[in-house]
Amino acid sequence: MRLRLLTQCGYKDAELPCTRTLRTKLNDLGYRLLKVRKCRPLKKIPETDAIFEEVHQINQTADQDEGVLRISLDTKATVNIGPFSRGGYSRQGEDACDHDFQPKATLTPFGILLPKTGDNHLWFGQGKVTADFMVDRIEEMMPRWKQCFGLHTLVINAEYGPESSGRRTQWLKRLVELSDAYQLTIQLAYYPPYYSKYNPVERVWGVLENHWRGEIIDSVDKALGLARSMTYRGIKPTVRKVTKTYRKGISVAKKVMRDIEARLERTTDLEAWFIKIVPQS
């Protein structure tokens, strides 16, 4: 304002009070700086309603059919291990740091929930959760699921994340290999963007966050122990630590991807959100 008085109104510098005095006078008159929203985030894409309709239909059919198993998977935000307050208060009255500087270690939780039964499985990795990490965890559970459910079709509910999207080449390649190895039909059914809360595994993350809120998670063992002691729908999760480090940024060559893409049955007009993979004998 002082600059505008000088340049636009013809005042001389000596005739005006200092900037601080002007600011005080404006505050006394009730003027305050306001935060301005630069742009309104997109909350709904044109395909949102069609995606939800298709997701609900696929999920309902999967839950009613024998031999079809529906799973929901997702990754939670990285947890810093150390004497940090985590934005809350310690139940034991311990002193905690209010900033997460130099953590002793970091853990990235990855979870799989069976919405129909409530069974939930948690893995904690010390590196990035990549496409290979996620498919390895599904493959780890496959013998058990095959035995318990007589599995012939696997429906995967997920968010459209960078490592598990319908365009992520390594993710799709590994799922095609998994389909052939276990003679398993795989149906990918993604939730639309900005609606991740509808992914069923998010309920598990909510329970976990409430369970260890107020705890000082100062060791990896404590983080794993707290996760093992929580319950979701009366069921305790299986909890494992993953020590393997996965390489980031792996992609599939275009020539190889053409063969992979030929194996994918994409839903018309929703090609990125619904993908079926049928095994080759």
pLDDT > 90? residue 110: yes
pLDDT at 183 over 70: yes
Residues 30 and 52 in one domain: no
Interatomic CA distance for residues 39 and 47, integer angstroms: 21
Do 17 and 71 have their domain in common? no
Q: Does 15 lie in the same domain as 149? A: no
- Would you call 72 helix, strand, or coil by DSSP? strand
Residues 6 or more apart whose CB falls under 8 angstroms from that of 245 comprise 126, 127
Number of domain units in the chain: 2
Q: Is residue 76 part of a domain?
A: yes
174 pLDDT more than 70: yes
Close Cβ partners of 234 (under 8 Å, ≥ 6 residues apart): 118
Domain assignment present for residue 164? The answer is: yes
> Looking at the predicted structure, is the pLDDT value of residue 2 above 90?
no
Containing 178, the helix (H) or strand (E) segment is helix 169-182
Mean of pLDDT values over 30-36: 72
Percent of the chain's residues with pLDDT above 70: 91
Ramachandran area for residue 39 (φ above 0: left; ψ -120 to 50: alpha; else beta): beta
Q: In the chain, pLDDT over 90 holds for what percent of residues? A: 65
pLDDT at 96: 58
pLDDT band at 94 (very low <50, low <70, confident <90, very high): low
Instruction: State residue 205's pLDDT score.
Output: 94
The answer to the question of residue 43 being in a domain is no
Q: What is the pLDDT of residue 97?
A: 63
pLDDT digit string, tens, across residues 158-172: 998 899 999 999 999
Q: How far is CA 145 from CA 86, 210, 238, in A?
A: 36, 29, 14
Q: Look at 41 and 113; give whichever has higher pLDDT.
A: 113
Domain of residue 20: give its range.
1-34
Q: What is the pLDDT of residue 86?
A: 61
**Residue of 281 and 126 predicted with greater confidence:** 126
Per residue in 127-156, pLDDT (tens digit) is: 899 999 999 999 999 999 999 999 999 999
Strand partners, 232: 235
pLDDT surpassing 80 at residue 46:
yes
Q: Are 151 and 139 in contact (CB under 8 A)?
A: no
Which helix (H) or strand (E) is 272 found in, with range? none
Is the domain of 18 the same as that of 154?
Answer: no
Rounded CA-CA distance 173/155 in Å is 17
What is the token pair recorded at 209? 């966050």
The gap from C-alpha 174 to its chain's centroid, in whole angstroms, comes to: 20
